[in-house]
Homo-oligomer: A and B are copies of this chain.
Amino acid sequence: MAKSRFEYVKQFERENFLLPQTYIVIRVDGKGFHKFSETYEFEKPNDARALAVMNKTARTMMLQFPDVLLAYGDSDEYSFLLRKDCDLFERREMKLVSTFASFMSVNYLMHWNDEFPNKPINSLRLPTFDARAVMYPNSDVVRDYFSWRQVDCHINNLYNTSFWGLIQKCALSPQDAENELKGTLAKDKNEILFSRCGINYNNEPEIYKKGTVLVREYENWTRGEAELSKLQKQRNEKMRKKAEIRQLHIDIINDDFWVQRPWLLT
């Protein structure tokens, strides 16, 4: 097509190509979900249906983006791990984060009706997400990243369970509940929950305590992708697309999860 004399403005565009051979984690985060959860009257401290919407959405994302090997989420956030050799959108940062935020939002909207058929989304309070991409250069720090998120899930859930326990079981005001918990350690919160609310935190559902792991499960995976022939790589690609995506609510801080799935970090 003919080029106009205005074409030069493209020179102002900048691209950040994320470094090759690094793991990319894209984390999407709900915008204003505190108010969102109030508008749609989420149950406190956790709303099982809202989590189901998030988890279904993340699973759909994994079907749409076969480069995602693993996803971990809790509350209104999800982290997607892209394989190290991924070349999606040539690893362009803005393209990656804007696309993931866009897919997350519309998929969420589509899955909403499955779980909340009686609460249609109204246009003044829409589910929206921002996204960030982070490069991690080796497998150790990738594991530490996911440990960080799971510890964070635990810390938040213990606090929220205690906070709402005091309100719902002991009729404290939110202000009083907050004051009660100020400065308490994990063991104090466990004790408060047990003695004052009659809740044994250990018996709380794993999905609340551990968050949700979605992982591509390979059968017959073999090491040594580096030396694979082109044909084998295509076969692996296919395998990745077809791999079952499994939903788990388990510990991903210790070695077991990773040792059993060597394809995640090679």
Contact = CB atoms under 8 A, between A and B. Distances in A.
Given A9-B145, A94-B130, 15 more contacts: A1-B155, A9-B136, A12-B20, A12-B134, A13-B132, A22-B22, A31-B102, A97-B98, A98-B100, A98-B130, A102-B105, A103-B105, A110-B121, A110-B123, A110-B126
11 contacts: A1-B155, A1-B156, A6-B145, A9-B136, A12-B141, A94-B130, A98-B100, A102-B128, A102-B130, A102-B131, A137-B137
A106 B60 CA distance: 16
A67 B203 CA distance: 49
Contacts of A19: 12, 14, 19, 22, 135, 137
B9 A144 contact: yes
A128 B155 contact: no
Contacts of A129: 98, 102
How many identical subunits does the complex contain?
4
A46 interface: no
Most buried by B among A19, A107, A141, A152: A19
B134 A137 contact: no
Interface in A173-215: 185-186
